């Protein structure tokens, strides 16, 4: 029995050692997974998303923006704007629907301040970046995020039960059934 166990452990160790000896190029890996692994981190979070192509923005400008955006997130102005957005998000946690609706302009202003701070930081770091290109990239990011939110909302709606929700059982809401005599 011991020899069988020892043989099994030896085979497992040998398999692990040979798998590690293979070069990384020979291992087949999903390109999307490799891209995620290679993703940058900014302040402990994933780097901001920049689309592969944006209409009206050259590849050169897009590459510069892609390089400078994570650095811009670390700037003082962007940190202050992120803090303001986080405060607004905390305020909405227990707010009513009407209060949330009233806060829409506050969120819009905070988002505008965030975009402005990022744009200024990127242009300060690399003056070759065009202001119009940054605006187009931000608009495209906003469109993509809006589409994702709508898709998530639609998917969430599909899972919801249709029609009226069933009444709760007796101890929680429905009247106590009368006993038959």
pLDDT in tens, 60-69: 999 999 899 9
Q: Where does the pLDDT of residue 170 fall: very low under 50, low under 70, confident under 90, or very high at 90 and above?
A: low
Rounded to a whole number of angstroms, the distance between the first and last alpha carbons of the chain is 72
Under 8 Å between Cβ of 46 and 37: no
Cα separation, 122 vs 71, in Å, equals 8
Under 8 Å between Cβ of 121 and 72: yes
Per-domain residue ranges of the chain:
73-156
Q: Where does the pLDDT of residue 153 fall: very low under 50, low under 70, confident under 90, or very high at 90 and above?
A: confident
What pTM did the predictor assign?
Answer: 0.59
pLDDT value at 151 more than 50: yes
């Amino acid at each position: 029995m011991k020899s069988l166990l020892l043989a099994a452990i030896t085979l497992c160790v040998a398999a692990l050692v040979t798998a590690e000896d293979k070069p990384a190029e020979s291992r087949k890996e999903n390109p999307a997974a490799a891209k995620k692994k290679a993703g940058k981190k900014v302040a402990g979070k994933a780097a901001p998303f920049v689309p592969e192509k944006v209409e009206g923005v050259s590849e050169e400008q897009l590459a510069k923006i892609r390089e400078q955006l994570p650095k811009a997130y670390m700037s003082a102005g962007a940190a202050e704007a992120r803090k303001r957005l986080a405060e607004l998000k905390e305020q909405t946690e227990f707010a009513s629907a009407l209060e949330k609706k009233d806060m829409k302009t506050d969120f819009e202003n905070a988002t505008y301040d965030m975009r402005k701070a990022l744009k200024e930081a990127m242009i300060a770091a690399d003056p070759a970046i065009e202001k119009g290109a940054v605006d187009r990239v931000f608009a495209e990011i906003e469109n993509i995020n809006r589409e994702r939110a709508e898709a998530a909302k639609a998917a969430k709606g599909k899972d919801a039960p249709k029609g009226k929700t069933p009444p709760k059982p007796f101890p929680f809401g429905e009247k106590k059934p009368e006993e038959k005599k």
